[in-house]
Homo-oligomer: A and B are copies of this chain.
Amino acid sequence: ASQQKSVATLLGDCDAFLFDCDGTLYHAGEVIPHVAEAIGHLRSLGKAVFFVTNTSSRSREQLQAKLQALGVPCEAEECVPSGVFTASYLRQAHPSAVRLYVVGGGGLVDELQKEGFICTGGPAEDDEKFTEEGFKSLADAVGEEMFDGVVVGWDTALTYRKVAKSALVFQRHPEAFFYATNDDAADRVGGWMLPGNGPLLGAIEAACAACAPERRDREPPFGAKAVVLGKPNPAYARKIAEWHRVDLRRAVMVGDRLDTDIAMGQQAGMRSLLVLT
């Protein structure tokens, strides 16, 4: 009874629900039971719902397609993977930036291109191999192009070549900015843990510090450590609130992780709901 009352209070006090996706709505490719009904119920009460995931390899439309395939009807506007926030943030913070080197999936490249950035890297380089003999010509090629920055998202096609090319961008373009969509350490998939973007980003940060040592003492985003834009960064929730005129004091962050979901909810002044899936 007391649980029902607190649910009723939450529903009465709140207008918007931000849902984490991996581990909260689905798990190892399967939708978690009653998710579709719960979201349908919120919609029937007139609540706004948003889908907020640090996984940046899917674009807005790709996340929408994934949710719909799992039986969760949704609009593209409601889907805000961290790549969407990253692209919007970069456009605002660096209005004249043109060209980026991207380590990440196709969805991240798509979102950055929608904001007018010219991107190299991403899936176009998934099959390129590194050779020591080719390193000098790679360095020349990186020096001939302009690069305004490097953006790193989870990349299951990460290669040594991408790490080396990131290090070359920082060497040859010392003013290049450095951002990451997130730094999640790992995700649970089918009972086992899969390394997340954090370990990969760490390799690129260490390569930057070693190969462009003058950056070590610089302030982010021009130093050797990336600025991390996804959860738990409260600016991510604030951007969604701004776009959709949501009052975050009347919004709930629903997620399965204390360090990203609940931390962002608290820092953004939202209520939080931890699901133990």
Q: Say yes or no for A194: interface residue by CB 8 A criterion.
A: yes
The size of the chain A interface, using a CB distance under 8 A, is: 45
Q: Say yes or no for A200: interface residue by CB 8 A criterion.
A: yes
Query: A176 CB to closest chain B CB, in angstroms?
Result: 15
Among residues of B, the one whose C-beta sits closest to the C-beta of A204 is B199
Query: A213 CB to closest chain B CB, in angstroms?
Result: 9
A139-B206 CB under 8 A given contacts A160-B155, A195-B163, A200-B160? no
Contact status B196-A136, CB under 8 Å: no
Q: Say yes or no for A171: interface residue by CB 8 A criterion.
A: yes
Contact status A131-B156, CB under 8 Å: yes
A207 to B158, CA, bound (A): 14
Contact with B along A109-149 (1 / 0, CB 8 A): 00000000000000000000111110110010000000000
Q: Can you name 17 A-B pairs with beta carbons within 8 Å?
A: A29-B132, A135-B189, A135-B190, A135-B194, A136-B189, A156-B160, A159-B160, A163-B199, A164-B195, A168-B192, A185-B210, A193-B211, A195-B206, A195-B210, A198-B206, A198-B210, A203-B203
Q: Which residues of A contact B (CB under 8 A)?
A: 28-29, 129-133, 135-136, 139, 155-161, 163-164, 167-168, 171-172, 185-186, 189-196, 198-200, 202-204, 206-207, 209-212
